[in-house]
Chain A
Amino acid sequence: MTRTIAVLLTAFIVSIVLLTGCSGGNAAKTGAADSGKELVYATAKDINDMNPHLYPGSLPAQGMVYESLVENTEEGIKPLLAESWDVSEDGKVYTFHLRKDVKFHDGEPFNAEAVKKNIEAVQSNASKHSWIKLSTKIVSANVLDEFAFELVLSEPYYPTLLELSMTRPYVFISPKDFVNGETKDGVSGHHGTGPYKLTEQKTDQYATFEANENYWGGAPKVNKITAKVLPAGETTFLALQKGEVNFIFTDDRGSDSIDVDAMNQLMDSGDFQLVRSKAMNTKMIVANSSKSDSPAHETAVREAIWYSIDRETISKQIFNGTETAANTLFSPNVNYANVELKKRGFDLDTAKQLLEKAGWLLEGGSEIRTKDGKPLAMKLYYDVNSSSQKSEAEFIQSTLKKAGVQLELVGEESSSIANRRATGDYDLLFNQTWGLAYDPQSTISAFTSESAYYHTTSGISKADELYKNIDEVMVTLDEKKRKALYANILTIVHNEAVFIPLTNGSVTIVAPTSLQGISFKQTQFELPFERMYFE
């Protein structure tokens, strides 16, 4: 019998070795690194519905396939599909002169008619686009001649060009892909004007993009990009080590698909390089100023929380230095955000003094401060799927305890947290700003929105002034006035400490060492793949 066992076991092992061995040689060849001109990146989610006028699709993928009229760069708005533009004196009419050498991937010409059809398709689904204020201000889209196009607004709106530069929804898909003249119920194909064409999509497995040889900006050098669906963590790391995947970058929620240790291990192998963008967004704790029965309603309590957070330690210990400590709602590289604001570092003594002064006292032997018999206790909601938020929450809980503040931590799904933010059912919760290209205007216009930060901002004493400033800043045509208004807005929310900054997040790329031309856009959501090349 022992022999039978030995035979069985040997057979099992031999069959595995045979199965693997007979085709083993090919395995390495499928490795992406060998092909030289192909990038395979890991994505935790399928690229999904690539209709550029809706929101489920992957932003980096849409960024490769579709283009906007203008582009947002570090130096400001630059031409893209529009060569130039004029703005009428009253700020209500934008005239765009389109490039004449652009074709959609299916060969259809890109012209004013196509622009008009696309913009009208977006507008006919307006309720989905209310976040982008431009959608509420467009009155008409008119064709002037084949390559001239005019956008008429109901009132002047300074971020118009910025919002037209975003990855969606004001980007262009071949009108041939429209279904019944619309895009809101789906599209029949995915032909954009971008540097890459979507050539294959296998749901939950992979999607391939091939270089658009006829791209008006010249064919990109990396001729194939594959988005491979892989769960973040161990699997992605092993796939990178094996060479099945050779490129990863921070996802649209700002998290990296492998941890810092794994990244370092890849760097050590010498096959990979790590490239990090400058600060893209601010991760923060949002306090509910409008909930009168919560201690978070008080400015002194919010300030005390601000002082009780050791951002340097969070940056070093929790993020291993990959995120930097943030001291203001927006990092100074955000437009209009380079404003002189009071610095509040980690200072437990000041936190305690502030609380004492506000009447929150430590009564005999108690660890938690009270005022009129009410304990200084609050709930902090974090995204249950984010390991860094949980660690941060625990760390903050422990320091706040030293100041006599009790934090109860509640982990929930991100949709549930968004729901709390909209209904005002929270004391404190984790959030992040929209990011470079969208800020400050998108985060700031969210201050007034019921579904976003209305409950955060409406309880502060200068709320009326704040909202008036926000209304004004969006329509003013005077650059100087705009600057002053933004400075005032930022000062109000900073002094009231309703947005308590934690760290500045950036985009991380792990790429083969031979890959050159790696750069970033003004957004954390997409990458300029067309500029990359192998050396």
Chain B
Amino acid sequence: MISYIIKRSLLSIPLLVIITFLTFGLNHLSPLDPAEVILHAQGVPAITDELIAETKAALGMDRPFLLRYMHWLVSCLQLDFGSSYVTGKTVGSLLAPAFLNTLKLTLVSAAAIIVLSIGLGVISARREGKMTDKAIRGVSFFLTSMPPYWLAALMVWYFSVQLDLLPTSGMDSFKSYILPVIVITISFTGIYFRIVRSAMLSNMNEDYVLYGRACGLPEQKITLHILKNSLQVAISVFCMAIPIILGSTVVVENIFAWPGLGTLSVKAIVSRDFPIIQAYVLVLAIAFVLFNTASDIINAAMNPKLRKATK
């Protein structure tokens, strides 16, 4: 098992290197001169050639591409992502709190999504084809097909403005979490509960279920067994849910003025704040690779056959 973990982890390194190269390269495909972008981003009212040359020299932009990439990569490894073009603050000092804020939102939402998906998935599989199943699927279909920004606006209008129960936006207290978490949960649960449901359904036809029933095991115990086996499929999906939510909070964060990664990245993109965009893409890519690796390892731990296959 340990050798599998090491092997699987080593495999992700070349992937990460490719990602860093693409991230750095993509930003340099932009038709705009980065020096000019910096000056615009800093709100300098008039940009002269002299000022552009000065800025380029100050940021080492006159050096060859590969050299700049290597320099950037080495600093990234030391957790130095450079400075924001707009504010001049280090990217780390902007990204770290934003990442933490998004992570808080993501973890609370992920917990809600997992609990709800499993709960609804189990119920709907056990009642396959019955009214309950149809109702759950219908409601979830309806809710997931609603655009999150619309759902969010509707909930803010009702719970915050009409009922005056919750804040409309911001991240002031525990109450600030409720609406964003509900919106994220609704848009993901509808997808994830289906995965649990179909895994449950395919497991229900397995021999061990028939055997269990034949032995007179109580129905609840059988359901638990089915759930345990079904979760193997679901675990990799749930593992990936965390980086996916991390990366997809943009809409929700913007609506609720949540000071997280989504808000930061949108602002960085609009003002072409490349160092922040690079760091954002990098953080997300690393999260994806890490969670993907983790889900493989968890799956391998639960299913020895998978370990053998890669040997």
Contact = CB atoms under 8 A, between A and B. Distances in A.
Interface of A: 1-2, 4-5, 8, 16, 19-21, 23-24, 27-28, 30, 45, 48-49, 54-57, 127-128, 130-132, 186, 202-206, 228-231, 234-235, 238-239, 241-242, 244, 385, 413-416, 418-419, 422, 446, 449-452
A130 B50 CA distance: 10
Interface stretch (B5-13, B32-40, B63-71, B194-202): B32-40
B288 interface: no
Contacts of A127: 48, 50-51, 54
B86 A1 contact: no
Contact of B88 (A45, A56, A239, A446): A56
Given A28-B164, A130-B51, A413 B272 contact: yes
A19 B130 CA distance: 33
Q: How large is the interface on B (under 10, 10 to 19, 20 to 34, 35 or more residues)?
A: 35 or more
Cβ-closest 3 pairs across A and B = A131-B46, A55-B43, A20-B165
Interface stretch (B151-159, B207-215, B238-246, B302-310): B151-159
Contacts of B126: 1
B84 to A, nearest CB: 9
A131 B159 CA distance: 49
Given A24-B164, A49-B87, A5 B132 contact: yes
A459 to B, nearest CB: 21
B79 interface: no
B42 A56 contact: yes
B46 A449 contact: yes
Interface stretch (B140-148, B167-175, B293-301): B167-175
Contact of A27 (B42, B156, B166): B166
Contacts of B257: 205, 228-231, 235
B77 interface: no
A2 B86 contact: no
A154 B45 CA distance: 23
Given A16-B182, A49-B88, A128-B44, 17 more contacts: A8-B123, A19-B174, A19-B178, A20-B166, A48-B86, A49-B87, A55-B44, A127-B50, A186-B88, A228-B257, A230-B169, A234-B255, A235-B169, A238-B161, A241-B161, A242-B167, A415-B272
Nearest to B171: A205
Which of the listed residues B120, B126, B127, B160 has the most CB atoms from chain A within 10 Å of its own CB? B160
A231 B266 CA distance: 11
Contacts, number: 153
Contact of B97 (A1, A2, A203): A203
Given A2-B131, A49-B88, A451-B46, A30 B167 contact: yes
Interface string B49-66: 111001000000000000
A21 B165 contact: yes
B169 A56 contact: no
A238 B44 contact: no
A452 B46 contact: yes
Nearest to A449: B46
Nearest to B126: A1
B31 interface: yes
20 contacts: A2-B131, A2-B132, A4-B123, A16-B182, A24-B163, A28-B164, A55-B43, A56-B42, A56-B86, A127-B50, A131-B45, A206-B170, A238-B156, A239-B169, A385-B270, A414-B40, A449-B46, A450-B49, A451-B46, A452-B46
Contacts of A449: 46
Given A128-B51, A204-B259, A241-B161, A8 B119 contact: yes
Nearest to B150: A234
A4 to B, nearest CB: 6
Given A1-B123, A19-B175, A203-B259, A242 B87 contact: no
B167 A1 contact: no
Interface in B217-265: 254-257, 259, 263-264
B148 to A, nearest CB: 13
B48 A451 contact: yes
A228 B36 contact: no
Contacts of B15: none
Contacts of B36: 415, 419
